[in-house]
Amino acid sequence: MAYDQFLDNIQEQLDQLVVTGNDDELFAGGYLQGHVMLSAGQYELEGDERCVDTLKGRVRQSLDGAIANGELNPQDQQLVVGLWERLSQ
């Protein structure tokens, strides 16, 4: 899958959560969207050739850093990481 198509697909799925998601999914989607957009923006600013696998790694690294910094309790960690794993397939 092409990089831009991957990002569009993620955004579409996150947008759909706004319509169909429960409170937990809305929280996880909003939180995850911030990490995806920040990671993508930083990656694109570097000017490297855009690669889906590299972006996936950067998002996961960003999430791992947030978890290590105590930003998410264990339940929220499961929600956000589980959603990322689902969306990034």
Q: What are the mean pLDDT values of the chain's consecutive 10-residue runs (89 residues total)?
A: 94 95 96 96 89 96 97 97 95
Q: Which two tokens stand for residue 66?
A: 């947030």
Res 45: pLDDT: 92
Task: Tell me the C-alpha distance between 59 and 36, whole Å.
Answer: 6
Res 49: pLDDT: 87
Q: Which two tokens stand for residue 6?
A: 């991957």
Res 47: pLDDT: 83
Q: Which two tokens stand for residue 40?
A: 């993508």
